[in-house]
Amino acid sequence: MSHINRRQLVLATAALGTLPAFAQSGYPNRPVKFTVPFPAGGPVDVTARAMAQKLGELWGQPGVVDNRAGAGGIVGAEIAAKQPADGYNLFVCAIHHSVLPALKPGLSYDIEKDFVPVSFGAMFPIILVAHPSLPAKNVAELVALAKKEPGKIAFSSSGNGGGTHLAGELFNMQAGVQLQHIPYKGSAPAMTDLLGGQVQLMFADAPTALPQIRAGKVRALGVASAQRSALLPELPTIAEAGVPGYEAYSWAALVAPKGTPPDIVAKISADLQKVMTQPDVKQRLFDAGAEAMPTTPEKLAQMLRSEIQKWGKVVKTANIKMD
């Protein structure tokens, strides 16, 4: 080999080192893991599996869901934060991870500092539902009744510090009422006691609420999101029905361990926006009570910061303690 050819080879090899990581390796060239901090079957898990399956089909490499439940989402986050930042380890975080910084100071991870945002995934509307025996037929009547009988009307939730609990405390703050919170270990028992009349209200996630609404067993008073939900387009928002400015929803989003190459993050985000807007994916999530909402990493970063600030104030004002 001539001197000139050797020099060209050295230059060419050096140039390869400056190429994007996925260009070098053909990213992804092996399975990609999606750590989910909750059990299989819930809304966050359903969203994660839709992401993993469709991205896997697009990439020609399996998307593998790894459920690591425990401590309200903390266990999965701790595990995910320690994974290699190579693009083959992703974490499906949820509303819990914007609440936990205020609810449990001193966590071993920081959802903003130890992860980089990839894309918002899906929004799960929270619906305010009432037992048929409650005299209030709408949000305005509920507020009036609650002001007349402070502390006497109870709402159930899936547990202390969860999205449905916080939705109720935010309602108390913005409507100027004192609904009594009764926590349960999960949405199913919370709904069971609402159906039985042991509590009068529930701020329920859509997958839990919709079957009972459609069966006529509970009365829907309003949806907690800022806009009406495509799941129940005729149902007014709580904001338009009597509590201006009110907004609460549960969600799932995709992040990666800090240090994941920016070009890989950009590729995953762009690909996720492609697959999450496909009609079959939107329908799959819609059937599970979720609305697909992929975004850029920048928009997810803004949303996460906003959620942490918002729920931090609610946790402090309502003096919420973790179980």
Q: Can you list the domains of the chain with their CATH numbers?
A: 3-124+250-318 (3.40.190.150), 125-241 (3.40.190.10)
Q: What is the pLDDT of residues 202-253, one digit of tens each?
A: 999 998 999 999 999 999 999 999 999 999 999 999 999 999 999 999 999 9
Give the lowest-confidence range in 5-19, 30-44, 182-196, 304-318: 5-19
Query: Is this prediction's pTM over 0.85?
Result: yes
- Quote the crossing angle between the two packed helices 163-175 and 297-318, to the nearest 10°: 70
How far apart, in whole angstroms, are the C-alpha atoms of residue 144 and residue 135?
Answer: 11
Q: What is the 3-state secondary structure (H, E, C) of 95-106?
A: CHHHHHHHHCCC
Within a 10 A sphere around the Cβ of 234, how many other Cβ atoms? 6
Amino acid occupying residue 209: A
Specify the pLDDT at position 322.
75
Average pLDDT over residues 106-122: 97
Q: What is the pLDDT of residues 151-195, one digit of tens each?
A: 999 999 988 888 999 999 999 999 999 999 999 988 899 999 999
State the virtual CA torsion across 187, 44, 226, 104 in degrees, nearest 10.
Answer: 70
Specify the pLDDT at position 43.
87
Specify the pLDDT at position 25.
57
Percent of the chain at pLDDT exceeding 70: 92
The alpha carbon dihedral of 69, 73, 74, 76 has a sign of positive
How far apart, in whole angstroms, are the C-alpha atoms of residue 53 and residue 61?
Answer: 10
SS3 of residue 60 by DSSP: coil
Query: Do residues 83 and 114 lie in contact, with contact meaning Cβ atoms separated by under 8 Å?
Result: no
